[in-house]
Amino acid sequence: MLRAILIDDEQPALDLLKKLLMTIGNIEIVGTFTKPGEAIHRLLQERVDVVFLDIEMPGLNGIEAAEHIMAIDPGIDVVFVTAYNHYAVEAFELNAIDYVLKPTTVERLRKTTTRIMSAGKQEKFNNAGQTSKSTFICFGRFEWIRDENAEAVSPVKWRTSKERELMAYLVHHRNTFVTKEKILEDIWPNANLEQVTAFLHTCIYSIRKKIASAGDNYKLEFHNNCYRLEIRGVECDAAGFERVTGGEMVITPDSIGEFEKIANLYKGNYMEEDGFAWAQEAQEKYKSDYIELMRRMSDYYLSVKEFRAAVQCLQSALRHNPYLDDVNERVLLVYAKSGDRLSMMRHYERFTKLLQEELGTLPLKSTVRLFSELYSGNADDESKA
């Protein structure tokens, strides 16, 4: 039996709809409401399968009310019952299960309820015994990876590029409420407000369905005209990276393995392959944090005389910014300490050539002096440290 809530600001229309649905049978009317806000409050307390919803209502209209309903439970089916057919496209953009024009009939509503029950059975069949573990990849290209029953690992498929960008945006702002206006401004700048608002509703609904379909342990919330993707405890390479680079964790023989694991998450600059304008500031910060992490790890490896590992860290930093004077100087020092004079000389020559060809400059005086001292073997212990 379907548990239903009915919402319509006109009491006669509400009474008629209730009467028609009760004629069909297999439907329990949990409540009828003329004010969407009261219905939404009831949904926080009751388990409901379907909401029959008018669109043209004062205050909170049906399209907006549906958005709140989806935020409470994306598994609730929404059926729009309205006298106005010009909302049909926007209604189906919200992935409403049906759109019924007034005046309706028992036969028309029977088709709707049959569709709801059939869809529910199919979804239960598809999700039977299904569990999944999600991972969000933010370095390089954004991906939402699912590992279902440890049998199939695959990225989530998207209906549109903007739906994918919206999910990346929500992951970027994870665990933080962002206003709808800010989302529209960042993802659809200079676009028609009415059109992109409808598009946003479509993408949000689709994302909620994706979350619900796999039973992932997080949710997409809507409150005070703001959205928040709550993903605490869910795997995210950027979040893991922040835990190490943003804290005061010291590199020791016991912790170096964790640092190496986190460093390996950095497969490329933050969402660099996607070209999201709103991600550029974060991209620069993550890159700077990664370079600093490589400095710290190289210092550790140098302290335990693991010269090859120290050079590898420094070279990784230089792949992201080859012009860093201090990092290039550290490379010279490590080669000198390891006794590899040939590699030291070659690195200095490559760095000098790079500066001349790309920037039209020469190495800093400190770099020239250091190389000369290392080359001649006159650098003191302090300069090598």
Instruction: Kindly state whether residues 182 and 117 are assigned to the same domain.
Output: no
- C-alpha distance from residue 180 to each of 94, 140, 220, 225 (Å): 16, 27, 13, 6
pLDDT at residue number 382? 41
CATH number at residue 28: 3.40.50.2300
Q: For the whole model, what pTM was predicted?
A: 0.74
Count of domains forming the chain: 3
Instruction: Kindly state whether residues 168 and 70 are assigned to the same domain.
Output: no
CA 36 to chain centre: 30
Domain that holds residue 88: 2-127
Q: Which residues, including other chains, have CB under 8 Å from residue 183's CB and lie 6 or more apart?
A: 166, 169, 200, 227
Q: Which of 127, 151, 168 is the last residue of a domain?
A: 127
Instruction: Kindly state whether residues 153 and 103 are assigned to the same domain.
Output: no
Any domain includes 312: no
pLDDT at residue number 118? 79
Nearest to 81 by CA among 154, 4, 6: 6
Instruction: Kindly state whether residues 142 and 285 are assigned to the same domain.
Output: yes
CA 249 to chain centre: 26
Instruction: Kindly state whether residues 25 and 66 are assigned to the same domain.
Output: yes
Instruction: Kindly state whether residues 98 and 158 are assigned to the same domain.
Output: no
Instruction: At 29, give phi and psi (nearest 5°).
Output: -80, 105
Q: How far apart are CA 165 and CA 230, in angstroms?
A: 17
Any domain includes 264: yes
pLDDT at residue number 85? 67
Q: Which of 62, 94, 127 is the last residue of a domain?
A: 127
Any domain includes 270: yes
Any domain includes 313: no
Instruction: Kindly state whether residues 103 and 137 are assigned to the same domain.
Output: no
Any domain includes 309: no
Longest dimension (CA), the chain: 98
Any domain includes 94: yes
Instruction: Kindly state whether residues 56 and 103 are assigned to the same domain.
Output: yes
Any domain includes 140: yes
Count Cβ atoms below 10 Å from residue 232 Cβ, excluding itself.
10
Instruction: Kindly state whether residues 12 and 113 are assigned to the same domain.
Output: yes
pLDDT at residue number 126? 47
pLDDT in tens for each of the 385 residues of the chain? 899 999 999 999 999 999 999 999 889 999 999 999 899 999 988 889 999 998 888 877 787 788 788 778 877 888 888 886 665 555 555 556 777 888 889 999 999 898 888 766 545 444 444 455 788 999 999 999 887 554 557 789 998 999 999 999 999 999 999 999 999 999 999 988 878 887 888 788 788 878 877 666 678 888 888 999 988 766 899 998 998 888 778 999 999 999 999 999 999 999 999 999 999 999 999 999 999 999 999 999 999 999 999 999 999 999 999 999 999 999 999 999 999 999 999 999 999 999 999 999 999 999 999 999 999 886 554 444 4
Instruction: Kindly state whether residues 172 and 212 are assigned to the same domain.
Output: yes
Instruction: Kindly state whether residues 269 and 173 are assigned to the same domain.
Output: yes
Q: Which of 298, 331, 357 is the last residue of a domain?
A: 298
Instruction: Kindly state whether residues 337 and 380 are assigned to the same domain.
Output: yes
Instruction: At 256, give phi and psi (nearest 5°).
Output: -60, -30
